[in-house]
């Protein structure tokens, strides 16, 4: 008992919904630190935290899980995951969703920053590229401390489809999906491999195109099946991989949504690119050698993202 243990990491998860709860569970099950679950709805984060805490003796974890509606409890967080937001209502256009969630993400970021000096913020709320840009503008944090979760999930979907197509082990497949988190995302078959073998050597062009298309529509396929809700297991596991890379200083190369300052020919936008992720957050952005077709697809996606970024700028101006 006299032994001085290092303080545990503190991970705040804002939004105690499907994705937020999955992240909290994975962090606790893997003993990565204490978790603070925050939500606007009273009782929900408290109830979910208590339930998760009671799994501790069964799953053998020591993490303390707190549920709260008060940002004071998030003080001095190492990592803050923002999943707060509302889903798109039937008939609601993307721009209306952007404004609804922009209000939420702005208020969440402001409250987080009142209690933590220099956290690493991982944004999950949609529309992702716009919401992570908003979090950076509002927090004033440096670009290595603000990132979005999209590429790890989109790549996991591509990896899954490749593995199912080839009937090979999931863990042997690596994939790279860049660009915005929308229909114009850019899966890169040349950088997608099975134990180092490019899939362009293992699958026909027709097969690859089919898997790329399914990846682009990966989120919508699940929404279509669930009817009432969207994916959360793979999104939660993707956020967990990012948290693990940071807290264990793994320096993993993962596709993440990062703020560009000239990389890939773009500045002032958030965009899915390969980054090195470790204790410093985004340590570097890796620029791949792209073919003219790949660059064209990436530019198209960046143009789509830029439209949303402009909408966020207009929103921030209105808000003052």
CA 111/CA 319 separation, integer angstroms: 16
230 near ligand APR, judged by CB under 6 A: yes
Q: Shortest gap between Cβ of 310 and ligand APR (angstroms)? A: 20
Choose one: 38-46, 59-67, 135-143, 259-267; the region binding ligand APR (CB under 6 A): 38-46
How far is the first Cα of the chain from the last one, in angstroms, to the nearest whole number?
A: 52
132 near ligand APR, judged by CB under 6 A: no
| Position with the least CB separation from ligand APR | 17
Q: Which of 10, 136, 145, 181 is catalytic?
A: 181
20 near ligand APR, judged by CB under 6 A: yes
83 near ligand APR, judged by CB under 6 A: yes
**DSSP letter string over 29-52?**
HTT--EEEEE-SSSSHHHHHHHHH
Cβ-based nearer residue to ligand APR, 187 or 218: 218
Cβ-based nearer residue to ligand APR, 193 or 238: 238
Cβ-based nearer residue to ligand APR, 18 or 31: 18
**DSSP letter string over 257-270?**
EEEEESGGG-EEEE
Q: Which pair of structure tokens corresponds to residue 45?
A: 């984060």
124 near ligand APR, judged by CB under 6 A: yes
Cβ-based nearer residue to ligand APR, 14 or 32: 14
160 near ligand APR, judged by CB under 6 A: no
Does residue 115 carry a catalytic annotation?
no
Contact residues for 275 (Cβ-Cβ < 8 A; gap 6+):
147, 253, 254, 255, 256, 258, 282, 283, 284, 285, 286
Cβ-based nearer residue to ligand APR, 25 or 193: 25
| Closest to 38 (Cα-Cα) out of 100, 8, 82 | 82
Find the largest Cα–Cα distance for the chain: 64
3-state SS string for 117-158: CCCEEEECCCCHHHHHHHHHHHHCCCHHHEEECCHHHHHHHH
Which residues in this chain contact ligand APR in the complex, by CB under 6 A?
Answer: 14-20, 39-41, 83-85, 87, 104, 107-108, 124-126, 230, 232, 235
Q: Which positions are catalytic?
A: 181
């Amino acid at each position: 008992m006299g032994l001085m243990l290092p303080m545990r990491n503190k991970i705040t998860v804002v939004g105690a919904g499907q994705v937020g709860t999955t992240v909290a569970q994975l962090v606790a099950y893997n003993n990565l630190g204490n978790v603070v679950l925050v939500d606007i709805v009273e009782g929900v984060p408290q109830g979910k935290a208590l339930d998760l805490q009671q799994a501790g003796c069964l799953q053998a974890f020591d993490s303390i899980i707190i549920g709260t509606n008060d940002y004071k409890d998030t003080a001095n967080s190492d990592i803050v995951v923002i999943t707060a937001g509302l889903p798109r209502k039937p008939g609601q256009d993307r721009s209306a969703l952007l404004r609804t969630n922009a209000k939420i993400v702005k208020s969440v970021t402001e409250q987080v920053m009142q209690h933590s000096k220099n956290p690493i913020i991982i944004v999950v709320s949609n529309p992702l590229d716009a919401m992570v840009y908003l979090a950076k503008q509002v927090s004033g944090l440096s670009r290595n401390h603000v990132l979005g979760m999209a590429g790890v999930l989109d790549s996991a979907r591509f990896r899954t489809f490749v593995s199912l197509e080839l009937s090979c082990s999931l863990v042997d497949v690596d994939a790279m999906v860049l660009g915005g988190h929308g229909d114009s995302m850019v899966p890169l078959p040349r950088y997608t491999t099975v134990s180092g073998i490019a899939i362009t050597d293992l699958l026909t062009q027709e097969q690859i195109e089919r898997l790329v298309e399914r990846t682009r529509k990966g989120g919508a396929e699940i929404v279509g099946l669930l009817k009432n809700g969207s994916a959360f297991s793979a999104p939660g596991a993707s956020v967990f991989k990012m948290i693990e890379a940071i807290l264990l200083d793994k320096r993993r190369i993962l596709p993440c949504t990062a703020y560009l300052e000239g990389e890939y020919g773009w500045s002032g936008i958030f965009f899915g690119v390969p980054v090195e992720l470790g204790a410093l957050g985004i340590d570097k952005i890796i620029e791949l050698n792209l073919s003219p077709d790949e660059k064209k697809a990436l530019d198209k996606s960046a143009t789509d993202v830029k439209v949303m970024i402009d909408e966020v700028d207009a929103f921030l101006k209105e808000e003052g």
